Amino acid sequence: MTAAERDLVNGYFELTNALNESLRAEAITSSDLFEIAGHSNPKAGARCIARSRRVHLANKQTSASASFVHLLNRKMLEGTIISLPLVGSFCTEMNDERTALQIELLSQKKRKSGDSTENSKSKEMGQDARVI
């Protein structure tokens, strides 16, 4: 794996983790700054900032996820990926069901292409046997 590919994978996992943390932190976001500034509704202000941060992180994470799945697809086509289901399980553990689903679809695509390759080899062997 190249350094750029490693950075892409790390970026995906860091953003996914940050998004999960922002969801947890949204409930406990401090409104102290808004109180000091004399905001009319400090709790609403804190929730608004937390929501804005979460949306920003979600957009970046979605982009990183697409790049990650694209990398996995390329590695699958090159034949250099070991276990797509394991990667998908890890994404599920990180509460990223969308990416896990995309990886499952890649895994199904890999299985189907493997089946068609095996079927074509069987047919070739059958034709060879008939020729003999």
Domain that holds residue 111: 3-131
Confidence at residue 28, expressed as pLDDT on a 0 to 100 scale: 60
Q: For 104, list phi and psi in degrees, rounded to 5.
A: -60, -40
Q: Does this model's pTM top 0.85?
A: no
Using CA atoms, how far residue 35 sits from 22, 30, 46, 73, in Å, is: 21, 10, 10, 49
Using CA atoms, how far residue 78 sits from 5, 68, 100, in Å, is: 14, 15, 21
Average pLDDT over the chain reads 82
Please give the tally of structural domains in the chain: 1
DSSP-H helix ranges across the chain: 3-26, 32-36, 42-78, 84-93, 97-131
Percent of the chain topping pLDDT 90: 45
Average pLDDT of span 91-102: 94
Q: Exposure string (b/e) for 74-104, b if CB count within 10 Å is 16 or more? A: ebbeeeebeebeebbeebeebebeebbebbb
Tokens for 63, please give them: 């982009």
Contact 109, 84 (CB under 8 A): no
Which has the higher per-residue pLDDT, 118 or 116? 116
Q: pLDDT by residue (tens digit) across 10-68?
A: 999 999 999 988 877 665 667 777 788 888 988 888 888 888 888 999 999 999 999 99
